[in-house]
Amino acid sequence: DVGQNQIWAARNFNVKEGRFLTSGGLGTMGYSLPAAIGAKMAKPKRQVVCICGDG
C-alpha cells in the first residue's frame, strides 16, 4: 500500500532489482496483499513478504 510504510520498506530491505513490488506512489489502497499473493503464485518456492500500512 502507499504511504510511509512504502518508503520504509524501500529503504530498509536489501532486495535484488526487479524483486520489489510497489504501487509506485499512485495512491492505491489494498494493493499489497493481492500483489503478494500473485508473487507467491508466480514463484511458489520463494519467500514473499507483504508490508501494508495506513498512510
47, pLDDT greater than 70: yes
In this predicted model, which residue has the larger pLDDT, 54 or 46?
46
Average pLDDT over residues 30-43: 92
34, pLDDT greater than 80: yes
55, pLDDT greater than 70: no
pLDDT for residue 45 = 97
d(CA 39, CA 11): 21
Query: Count of H helices and E strands in the chain?
Result: 2, 0
Mean of pLDDT over the chain = 83
pLDDT for residue 43 = 94
Longest dimension (CA), the chain: 31
- Of 18, 42, 44, 3, give the one whose Cα is nearest residue 32: 3
Contact between 24 and 1 under an 8 Å Cβ cutoff? The reply is no
